[in-house]
Structure 1
Amino acid sequence: MLIGLTGTPGTGKTSVSKLLEKRRGWKVVYLNDLIKEEHLYSEVDEERDSVIADMELIRERLSGILEEEKGQHAEKAKVNGEEKENITIIESHLAHYITDIVIVLRAYPPELKKRLEKRGYSEEKINENAEAESIDLILAEAFEWCKKVFEVNTTGRTAEETLGDVEKIIDYILAGKENELQEYIPGSLDWIDSVP
């Protein structure tokens, strides 16, 4: 099963993904790193200090990674006699363009700004990301691209606390109990008043 962990930069995707890897042993593809390492982009935007991802190249490369992972999982299951679901997490602010199931991590924009300041982001990038979070940009895109969308508020919470929510969502999906995940149905967070 392929699950996206997406959200505006600074919402906790990488921290939670590392914990998922460690605690659950699930494969995590750090998509932004993969894009840069394997040059899966069409151009470099010098002004914004970023790259323009080539989604076709990314999908092609991920297909290969997932096939390899599927083979490794099948071999491990054969040796251990396990019948567990193979879980792969795609971690990126672009994950919702690739997966059918996505968990969108959210953060109150003023807190998000503080997190991005600590990372050394430029004022322009901080404001751009805070505004995107204020208007639910990634959440709206997730609805457009994905079949199942869940939302987790990371405001004032540690990565470990957020991890508990993410694990619960995935475990309930695996158990077929999605109807019990009402607290993660998008729409409860409204930060439009925090637009700079």
Structure 2
Amino acid sequence: MFIALTGTPGCGKTSVSGLLENEFGYRVVHLNELIKSENLFIEEDKQRDCVVTDLDVVQKRLSPIEEFENPVIIDSHMAHLIADISIVLRTAPGELKKRLEKRGYKPAKVDENIEAECLDVILVESVENCEMVFEVDTTGRSMSEVAEDVREIIDSISPGHPPLDKFKPGAFDWSGEIF
């Protein structure tokens, strides 16, 4: 079973997935690294500073991994496009902007990602593509705290556990920050 750990770039996916992998023993696929290292992309979009990925090729590459009994976490802003369960990390636009600028993102790329976060782009895609969707706020929180929330969600997915209402989608509305 694939569980997407997804969200707008800068929300903490890689930091949280690293904790889940190294401290808690979860199997994690760092999808963006895999795509680049194995050339699973169609082209480089220099204007948007990204690669265009062939998701069919990526799914074929990942299919042997899906056979594992334990859940496999896929870390990527597009993981929700190939997983059945999605955990969407969310960050308030002001904090997200600081994180992206600290990474050295170009102003246009910062704006594109802030707009995506405000418009719930990843959440909407997750709801459209996944059987189960959860949201976790990373704003002003340590990555350890966020990782604990993600672990709680993964534990709740097991059969016989009730769904976690506190992580149900739709809790955040940052659209007012761009309109």
Q: CA deviation at 1:66?
A: 3.5
> RMSD of aligned C-alpha atoms?
1.2
Q: Is it true that 1:23 corresponds to 2:23 in the alignment?
A: yes
Write the deviation string for residues 7-56 of structure 1: whole angstroms up to 9, x where unpaired. 00000000000000012211100000101110101111111121100001
1:58-92 per-residue CA deviation (whole Å, 9 max, x = no partner) reads 0010113334xx3xxxxxxxxxxxxxx51210000
Paired with 2:66 and 2:166, the residues of 1 have a C-alpha distance of: 30
Unaligned 5+ residue runs, structure 1?
71-84
- 2:125 aligned with 1:159: no
Q: Which residue of 2 aligns with 1:50?
A: 50
Q: Corresponding residue for 1:39?
A: 39
Kindly state the Cα deviation for residue 174 of structure 1 after the two structures are TM-superposed.
1.9
User: Is 1:97 matched with 2:81?
Assistant: yes
Q: Structure 2: which 5+ residue stretches go unaligned?
A: none
Contact kept, 8 Å, 1:110 with 1:194, in 2: the verdict is no
CA, structure 1 residues 120+174, in 2 after alignment: closer, same or farther (shift >3 Å)? same
Aligned residues: 179
1:176, distance to aligned residue in structure 2 (A): 3.0
1:88 pairs, out of 72, 77, 92, with: 72
Tell me the equivalent position of 1:73: none
1:182 equivalent in structure 2: 165
Q: How far did residue 107 of structure 1 move?
A: 0.3
Flag the structure with higher helix content. 1
**Aligned-partner Cα distance in 2 for 1:110–1:6:** 19
- 1:15 is matched by which residue type in structure 2? S
Question: Percent identity between the aligned chains?
Answer: 55
**Runs of at least 4 residues off by over 2 Å:** 64-67
Q: What is the CA–CA distance in structure 2 between the aligned matches of 1:163 and 1:48, rounded to whole Å?
A: 30
- Matched with 1:109 is 93
Question: 1:175 Cα shift?
Answer: 5.2
**Deviates further, 13-22 or 167-176:** 167-176
Indicate the SS of the match to 1:99.
coil
Give me the whole-angstrom Cα distance separating, in 1, the residues matched to 2:60 and 2:81: 13
> Normalising by structure 2, what TM-score?
0.96
